Chains A and B, each alone.
Chain A
Amino acid sequence: MSRSRPRRTASLGDRVALEIQELHRRGKLRDTQPLLRIDQRKEAAAAPYQFDAVRGRLHRNGCRAIPAASKSALYGVWEFRPGEQHLACPRCKPVPTRRTKATRALNAPASDLVYGVLSILDQFGGVLRERGREYRRSQNGEQLRSGVRDLYDIFGTGERDVLHVIAAALDALSGVVNDLQRSVASTIGLGGNGQPGTNGHRPRHHEVRRSRNGTDEP
């Protein structure tokens, strides 16, 4: 496997993401909290129901009727619908549940989100587009700042540590972005209004677009 530094042709998102990882490798980021925690094994093992993906049976947690061969294919389930009653294990007889605040929270616990590397990328493009200072002075920027301040106020120490990690990462990464912007400007030249020439099109910071509701649809 060949080894080399990131190429100049790599997208902005890739460079930022790689730079964050590099900062971490060099010990420049505090990481008492994870940047992004996908691992949900503990919570899944403690979920009130366990779904056997092999046999299609829903069990109460700890049901002795769960076959040994299915142990590696169990999905933690926090709620199930009345229409799924036919999947219920006849031995432990789980009953359908209503969605509670606790189960809703499981969809996106704050300690897992931590603005993660991916959210940084997603939001970084937006910040660049709005050109920093101008954006902060706008109504949207003011709302964002106020929202972040409120969020910060309700965070505990752990979450604040995470925000510090992100802030440190963004600070260091601004150098990368400036460097990239300079190199782009020198390559394509500036338009007559002092803005980079885009040939009538908005610049694309990201090819990727995710659904904003975080649930499903494009």
Chain B
Amino acid sequence: MERVDRLIQRYRPDVRATLEPLIVSCYPALRQNRRNEYRKMIELSTKMTVVGHAATTVLGHPYDRRRRRIAALFGCCCFLADSFIDDFGDEAAHEYLDRFELLLTRGWFHPRTDRERLFYAIVTRLFLERHVLQPTLRQAMLLLYEAQRRDVEMRSTLPSRASRRRQLHDLKMCARDRSGHAILVLSSFLVPDIPLAHRTPIFAAGSLIMHIDDHGDAFADLRDRRVTYMNQMRNPARTLRHIFEKELSRLVGGLPSNAGRELFVAFLTRYFVTRLHKHRQQRKLEGGAWAVYE
């Protein structure tokens, strides 16, 4: 896990150097944002850069500067997309999904705000970095989009008449798909044509990240009335431990034994431990503001 710490420290300035010029150019107000979004975005993108390192190495490719840049851009893209979905209410979330679908199906996107302009600048750079019509990559993007849409639609219909068991199942699938497909998008941007056998363990790593994330943010999500699988569990720490063990064994069993797999395991373990801690801290603070965590 020390290696993960070292990588995070090493990549953070790189991530900042990649993203800052774009932010200054498109959306300078983000840096003074009172919700501390700039730092959160840098941390998320740094985390994504480490995940990208693990995925690239496990697939047998060098993690060069260009790939680090892709991972940083992707982290920023995820941060902004998540903010459109989670931070501005249901109406804004639906509207974003409609407009993003137009971008995916027709190529048109009309940015109206600086935040949207930054998002578009990031997306176009990502698309330029890789042959974006590669079948796995484009499918992963659409499957991710559909998972986002299901998440938003489910949120609008809760509480529903469906049984608690059914609702929990749907929430769990949604979390699994949002992050599972997201990591396959990232991996496909980094290394196109991922062998079929490697997609499943990488997908498992992604879904695990989402559950860990949701556990760490459980109180902030509840405060914002965002229902997740993890914050609906009666004993979330025990549930998360069960998911962690299951997905980690799937990852270890499905990937070749190399430095990339070790990095994946170390990163996920560190993430799991630190988010358990974060959850406990947040409970003591009675679900205070979502802190920047690193």
Contact across chains for A107 and B135 when beta carbons are under 8 A apart = yes
- When distances are taken between beta carbons in the complex, the residues of chain A under 8 Å from B125 are 208
Q: B199 touching A75 by the CB < 8 A rule?
A: yes
The contact string, 1 if C-beta is below 8 Å from chain B, for chain A 10-39, is: 110110011001101100000100111111
Asked if A66 is an interface residue, CB under 8 A from chain B, the answer is no
Judge whether B106 and A35 touch: CB under 8 Å. yes
Among the 9-residue stretches B126-134, B210-218, B223-231, B276-284, the one with 4 or more Cβ atoms under 8 Å from chain A is: B126-134
With beta carbons under 8 angstroms apart, the residue of A3, A80, A112 that contacts B114 is A3
**B193 to A215, Cβ gap below 8 A?**
yes
For residue B233, CB closer than 8 A to chain A, the reply is no
The reply to whether A31 and B173 contact each other, CB–CB distance below 8 Å, is no
- Interface check A210, CB cutoff 8 A: yes
9-residue interface stretch from A54-62, A138-146, A172-180 = A54-62
Number of interface residues of B (CB under 8 A): 65
CB-CB nearest in chain A for B110: A25
**Assembly CA distance A81 to B123 (angstroms):** 32
Asked if A41 contacts B121 (CB within 8 A), the reply is no
The reply on B166 being an interface residue by CB < 8 A is no
Is residue A218 within 8 Å, beta carbon to beta carbon, of the partner chain?
yes
**In the complex, are the beta carbons of B114 and A4 less than 8 A apart?**
yes
Interface check B139, CB cutoff 8 A: yes
Task: Please report the total number of A residues contacting B with Cβ < 8 Å.
Answer: 66
Question: Chain B contacts of A72 at CB under 8 A?
Answer: 143, 146-147, 150, 173, 177
Residues of chain A within 8 A of B101, CB atoms compared: 39
Do A218 and B143 touch across chains, with their CB atoms under 8 A apart? no
Which B residues lie within 8 Å of A86 (CB)? Answer: 197
B18 and chain A: residue at smallest CB distance: A207
Q: Please determine whether A1 and B114 come into contact, CB atoms closer than 8 angstroms.
A: yes
Interface of B is mostly: helix
A107→B130 CA distance, assembly (Å): 13
**Cβ-neighbour of A215 out of B120, B124, B173, B192 (below 8 A):** B192
Residues of B9-36 contacting chain A, CB below 8 A: 24-26, 29
Q: How far is the CA of A109 from the CA of B138 in the complex (A)?
A: 13
With A56-B254, A87-B196, A214-B131 known as contacts, the answer to whether A39 contacts B138 (CB < 8 A) is: yes
Q: Which of B29, B66, B125, B133 has the most CB of A within 10 A?
A: B133
Q: Which candidate, A113-121, A149-157, A188-196, is the interface stretch facing chain B?
A: A113-121
Q: Which of B104, B128, B191, B197 contacts A87 (CB 8 A)?
A: B197
Contact of A38 with B128 in the complex, beta carbons under 8 Å: no
Inter-chain contacts of A215 with B (CB < 8 A): 131, 134, 192-193
In the complex, the answer to whether B124 meets A117 with C-beta atoms within 8 Å is yes
CA distance A24 to B99 in the complex (A): 14
CA distance A69 to B183 in the complex (A): 19
Given contact pairs A18-B117, A38-B141, A75-B199, A210 touches B129 in the complex (Cβ within 8 A): yes
A1 touches B115 (CB 8 A): yes
Q: When the two chains form their complex, are residues A10 and B200 in contact, meaning their CB atoms are under 8 A apart?
A: no
Contact check: which of A9, A22, A37, A78 meets B135 at CB < 8 Å? Answer: A78
Q: Which of A97-117 contact B (CB under 8 A)?
A: 106-109, 112-114, 116-117
Check A118–B132 contact: CB distance below 8 A.
yes
A89 CB within 8 Å of chain B: no
Question: Chain A's nearest CB lies how many Å from the CB of B28?
Answer: 9
CA distance A113 to B127 in the complex (A): 12
Q: Does A6 contact B (CB under 8 A)?
A: yes
Cβ-neighbour of B180 out of A35, A73, A116 (below 8 A): A73
Instruction: Say yes or no: is B142 at the interface (Cβ < 8 Å to chain A).
Output: yes
Query: Cβ of B54 < 8 Å from any Cβ of A?
Result: no
Q: Across the interface, which residues of B come within 8 angstroms of A116, CB to CB?
A: 107
The residues of B that contact A6 with a CB separation of less than 8 Å are 117
7 sample A-B contacts, Cβ–Cβ < 8 Å, listed by A number: A7-B25, A38-B138, A53-B181, A53-B184, A75-B139, A107-B133, A108-B131
Which chain B residues have a beta carbon within 8 Å of chain A's beta carbons? 24-26, 29, 61, 64, 66, 88, 101, 103-117, 120-121, 124-125, 127-136, 138-143, 146-147, 150, 169, 173, 176-177, 180-181, 184, 191-193, 195-197, 199-201, 203, 254
The 5 closest A-B pairs by CB, nearest first: A35-B107, A36-B107, A56-B200, A214-B131, A1-B113
Q: Known contacts A31-B108, A118-B127, A121-B128; can you find 11 more A-B pairs with CB under 8 A?
A: A1-B115, A2-B115, A4-B114, A14-B121, A21-B111, A56-B199, A72-B143, A118-B132, A209-B66, A215-B134, A218-B64
